[in-house]
């Protein structure tokens, strides 16, 4: 176990929860500023989705990713940039014909999901390793599509963060590694508490951690009220952790959070366990990322 904990801040997600928080990051400027401030507070990685500035709903617009990316880099922040590739994976069976996507379906071809990764070549991008019920929709990541995406991410020289939402996802991620589609050392994010996926419990965290390859760099997060429980548990087990408004809107009961405040609290927990938050340079070295 290394002493440094790689802390990720997921500043804004793809959920339609923007109306539940009075100052939710929606515009590229706001998202970028929250990434920069999270870095100052102790996060080594900023995990980024983008949203339509007018409506607040999730977006896959490459121009929005470009603006966020450029604002962070132009600020002089050295926080590692992790861009999502999850947009374009939702399926809702149609009411008249279940084989045709109904309202809420966003499915696109796998390489289309990587358009902004092709353009920007961030330090890290996500690879959601598996299909599952994500709330009330199906989050579709088939083996064929994942192989296509993994191969192209590898060719681009971007580090894939393999997001795993249940134990079977870990097993398929190991298959990708065996097939040579994921370079060593692999990077995993154990995602807990998402409705209809693995719960945020110590038992599940231990099981999923136990399935990981021995050389894996791993992190975990829990959503909502489980956020800081998982920070403490992952840190105590030698892992890394993630916080942010994507996962939890509140600092305490009835008190809305900011991304920076969530990071600061996670840093205190990390230090209470006798460890230290990793700098972006330390995180890049451990993850095998060559900074551009």
Q: What is the mean pLDDT of residues 39-49?
A: 98
138 domain residue, yes or no: yes
86 domain residue, yes or no: yes
Mind listing the pLDDT tens digit for each residue in 50-105?
999 999 999 999 999 999 999 999 999 999 999 999 999 999 999 999 999 999 99
Q: Nearest Cα to 90, choosing from 136, 126, 146, 54?
A: 136
Q: Nearest Cα to 219, choosing from 138, 102, 124, 103?
A: 124
Domain membership of residue 214 as a residue range: 4-287
Exposure of 279 by Cβ count < 10 A (0-12 exposed, 13-18 middle, 19+ buried)?
middle
Q: What is the mean pLDDT of residues 40-55?
A: 97
147 domain residue, yes or no: yes
Bridge-based pairing state of the strands 132-134 and 137-139: antiparallel
d(CA 270, CA 253): 22
Residue 151 has which token pair? 């191969």
Residue 2 has pLDDT above 90, yes or no: no
Q: What percent of the chain has pLDDT over 70?
A: 100
Q: What is the mean pLDDT of the chain?
A: 96
> In angstroms, how far apart are the furthest CA atoms of the chain?
57
Residue 292, pLDDT score: 73
Mind listing the pLDDT tens digit for each residue in 92-145?
999 999 999 999 999 999 999 999 999 999 999 999 999 999 989 999 999 999
Q: How many domains are there within the chain?
A: 1
Residue 1, pLDDT score: 63
Residue 140, pLDDT score: 97
Map residue 99 onto helix, strand or coil. coil
Q: What percent of the chain has pLDDT over 90?
A: 96
Residue 289, pLDDT score: 97
Q: Which residue has the tokens 């366990």?
A: 273
From residue 128, give the alpha-carbon distance in Å to each of 29, 51, 146, 238. 26, 19, 8, 23
92 domain residue, yes or no: yes
DSSP 15: S
Q: What CATH number should be reported for the domain holding residue 97?
A: 3.20.20.70
Residue 228 CB coordination number (10 Å): 18
Give Cβ neighbours of residue 241 (< 8 Å, ≥ 6 apart): 5, 7, 8, 219, 220, 221, 230, 231, 234, 235, 266, 270
Residue 74, pLDDT score: 98
Query: How much of the chain is helix, strand and coil, in % rounded to 5?
Result: 40, 20, 40
232 domain residue, yes or no: yes
292 domain residue, yes or no: no
């Amino acid at each position: 176990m290394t002493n440094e904990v790689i802390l990720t801040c997921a500043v804004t997600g793809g959920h339609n929860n923007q109306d539940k928080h009075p100052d939710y990051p929606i515009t590229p400027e706001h998202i970028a500023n929250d990434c920069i401030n999270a870095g100052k507070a102790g996060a080594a990685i900023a995990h980024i989705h983008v949203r339509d500035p007018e409506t607040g709903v999730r977006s896959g617009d490459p121009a929005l990713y470009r603006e966020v990316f450029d604002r962070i880099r132009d600020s002089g922040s050295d926080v590692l940039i992790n861009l999502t590739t999850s947009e374009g994976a939702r399926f809702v069976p149609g009411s008249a014909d279940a084989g045709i996507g109904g309202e809420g379906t966003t499915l696109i071809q796998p390489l289309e999901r990587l358009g902004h990764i092709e353009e920007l070549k961030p330090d890290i991008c996500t690879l959601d390793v598996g299909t599952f019920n994500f709330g009330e929709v199906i989050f579709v990541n088939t083996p064929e599509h994942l192989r296509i995406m993994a191969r192209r991410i590898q060719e681009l020289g971007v580090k894939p963060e393999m997001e795993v939402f249940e134990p079977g996802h870990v097993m398929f991620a190991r298959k990708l590694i065996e097939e040579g589609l994921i370079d060593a050392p692999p990077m995993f994010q154990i995602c807990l508490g998402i409705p209809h996926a693995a719960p945020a419990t110590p038992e599940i965290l231990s099981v999923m951690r136990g399935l990981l390859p021995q050389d894996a760099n791993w992190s975990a997060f829990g959503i909502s009220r489980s956020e800081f429980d998982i920070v403490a548990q992952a840190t105590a087990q030698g892992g890394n952790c993630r916080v942010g408004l994507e996962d939890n809107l509140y600092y305490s009961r009835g008190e809305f959070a900011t991304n920076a405040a969530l990071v600061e609290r996670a840093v205190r927990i990390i230090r209470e366990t006798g460890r230290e938050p990793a700098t972006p340079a330390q995180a890049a070295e451990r993850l095998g990322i060559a900074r551009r």
